[in-house]
């Protein structure tokens, strides 16, 4: 399988001096703050204003289904169209979506279906934007800098997530939901504007004659490229299984735990979200310092196994300090899982295929996510507590991780 990730400019320049990389970090930071605020504010509004816990499942399903459907097409588009243009247009759409929520709130319309519709369109926007973002980073830095660059990118996203959760909680408490949504519009608009200043060399998908390949030809080439790699096939299967057992319980679990176990206090929800993201920051800092170049597969599998063990104990504790420690540890371990695997994927993928391979990975990771959200919502509706759901879901996470470590050398020995 080709392993070319070429950077024709700024190849050996330190990351801190690479202008386009720094701008990407800044725009991602602003956009991530806004997105974190949106998720926090939306979830808390549904729980506190609409009093509809299962409604969170509807929203997450509405956003994840279009991501799965359109993500593959987003990957092909990312390999054909200027990536910064895609990112700008998607963020512009998100600005309009948040504005639509503000408008309905101003008109006194408080309905779960407003958030479901917005989540659906958000999902389409993400499906187009995520492949462009994830395939842009390897074009800005040298391959030897990828682990550190990914760690910085992850650190940046996690820091923004903490800031977003904190700012959302503070803003809701001080000035209300409406003004909080307005702040998100300002942040996302600024991030969209800055994308115009990112410079890179666009490498388009071409056919055997050097001409730009038709859309569905490019799509087929991407599938065949992934199919030819044992590492990619094994990684995609692992992503499908783990996301099914983690996505629904954890994504829905944190706000519901804050609401049911700890009395529905906004500050507790903010603390849980921030602690999780603090863990991911610590993991990103660790990887950035180590600049891990060996045993990436082993490190990732050991980390996700330990995350499953922590998830198991989340299902049994009602002590805030212990819960915060476990949630923070899960964040740390997930960071130690995702970043090495993402680096392996980027370093072992042909530059012309990056958008498609990244989109296929996202589809694999999210393929059963709607079912995970739906099943979690059903179990909550029939009376099962979120903590019971979480500890049950942790068991297959541990089993799959251990099995992969012992019997799937394509991932265990990936380096």
Q: Give me the CATH number covering residue 146.
A: 1.20.1250.20
How many Å apart are CA 21 and CA 200, to the nearest integer? 10
pLDDT of residue 209: 58
In a domain, 8, yes or no: no
Low-confidence ranges of the chain (pLDDT < 70): 1-12, 202-212, 291-293, 367
- Using an 8 Å Cβ cutoff, are 21 and 362 in contact? no
Q: Which residues contact 223 (CB under 8 A, 6 or more apart)?
A: 360
CA distances from 266 to 40, 47, 113, 304, 385 (A): 10, 11, 23, 29, 20
In a domain, 122, yes or no: yes
pLDDT of residue 12: 67
In a domain, 7, yes or no: no
Q: Phi-psi category of 264—alpha, beta or left, where left has phi over 0 and alpha has psi -120 to 50?
A: left
212 three-state secondary structure? strand
How many Å apart are CA 79 and CA 205, to the nearest integer? 6
In a domain, 289, yes or no: yes
How many Å apart are CA 152 and CA 158, to the nearest integer? 10
Q: ∠ CA(10), CA(16), CA(19), 5° rounding? A: 55
Taken in order 98, 99, 105, 107, the sign of the CA dihedral is negative
One DSSP character per residue, 270-326 reads: HHHHHHHHHHHHHHHHHHHHHT--S-HHHHHHHHHHHHHHHHHHHTT---HHHHHHH
In a domain, 217, yes or no: no
pLDDT of residue 205: 57
Smallest CA-to-CA distance from 369 within 121, 113, 62 is with 62
pLDDT of residue 26: 92
In a domain, 213, yes or no: no
Q: ∠ CA(40), CA(69), CA(112), 5° rounding? A: 35
pLDDT of residue 7: 44
pLDDT of residue 367: 67
How many Å apart are CA 377 and CA 55, to the nearest integer? 8
End-to-end CA distance of the chain: 14
Distance, CA of 36 to chain centre: 11
The domain total for the chain is: 1
One DSSP character per residue, 325-348 reads: HHHHHHHHHHHHHHHHHHHHHHHT
In a domain, 223, yes or no: no
- Using an 8 Å Cβ cutoff, are 414 and 344 in contact? yes
Smallest CA-to-CA distance from 357 within 377, 341, 371 is with 341
In a domain, 257, yes or no: yes
Residues 280-299: tens digit of each pLDDT: 888 888 887 776 667 888 88
pLDDT of residue 207: 55
264: containing domain: 17-197+229-412
pTM tops 0.75, yes or no: no
């Amino acid at each position: 399988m080709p392993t070319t990730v070429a950077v024709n400019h700024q190849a050996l320049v330190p990351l801190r001096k690479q202008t386009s990389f720094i701008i990407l970090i800044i725009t991602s930071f602003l956009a991530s703050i806004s997105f974190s605020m949106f998720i926090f504010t939306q979830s808390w509004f549904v729980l506190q204003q609409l009093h509809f816990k299962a409604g969170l499942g509807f929203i997450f399903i509405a956003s994840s289904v279009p991501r799965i459907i359109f993500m593959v097409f987003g990957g092909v588009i990312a390999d054909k169209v200027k990536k910064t243009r895609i990112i700008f247009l998607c963020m512009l759409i998100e600005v309009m979506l948040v504005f639509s929520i503000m408008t309905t709130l101003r008109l006194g319309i408080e309905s779960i279906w407003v958030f479901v519709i917005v989540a659906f369109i958000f999902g389409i926007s993400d499906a187009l934007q995520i492949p462009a973002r994830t395939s842009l980073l390897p074009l800005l830095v040298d391959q030897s800098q990828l682990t550190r660059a990914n760690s910085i990118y992850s650190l940046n996203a996690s820091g923004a997530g903490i800031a977003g959760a904190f700012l959302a909680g503070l803003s809701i408490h001080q000035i209300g939901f409406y003004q909080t949504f307005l702040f998100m519009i300002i942040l996302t608009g600024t991030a969209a504007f800055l994308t115009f200043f990112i410079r890179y060399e666009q490498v388009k998908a071409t056919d055997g004659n050097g001409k730009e390949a038709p859309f569905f030809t490019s799509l087929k080439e991407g599938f065949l490229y992934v199919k030819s790699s044992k590492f990619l096939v094994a990684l995609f299967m692992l992503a499908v299984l783990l996301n099914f057992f983690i996505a629904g319980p954890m994504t829905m679990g944190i706000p519901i735990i804050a609401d049911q176990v700890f009395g529905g206090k906004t500050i507790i929800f903010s603390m849980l979200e921030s602690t999780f993201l603090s863990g991911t920051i610590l993991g990103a800092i660790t990887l950035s310092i180590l600049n891990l170049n060996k045993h990436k597969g082993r490190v990732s599998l050991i980390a996700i196994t330990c995350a499953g063990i922590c998830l198991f104990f989340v299902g049994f504790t009602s002590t805030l300090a212990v819960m915060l420690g476990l949630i923070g540890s899960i964040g740390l371990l997930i960071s130690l899982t995702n970043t090495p695997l993402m680096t392996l994927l980027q370093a072992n993928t042909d530059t012309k295929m990056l958008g498609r391979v990244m989109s296929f990975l996202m589809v694999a990771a999210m393929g059963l996510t709607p079912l995970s959200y739906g099943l979690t919502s059903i179990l909550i509706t029939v009376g099962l507590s979120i903590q019971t759901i979480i500890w049950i879901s942790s068991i297959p996470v541990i089993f799959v991780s251990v099995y992969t470590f012992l019997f799937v050398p394509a991932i265990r020995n990936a380096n």
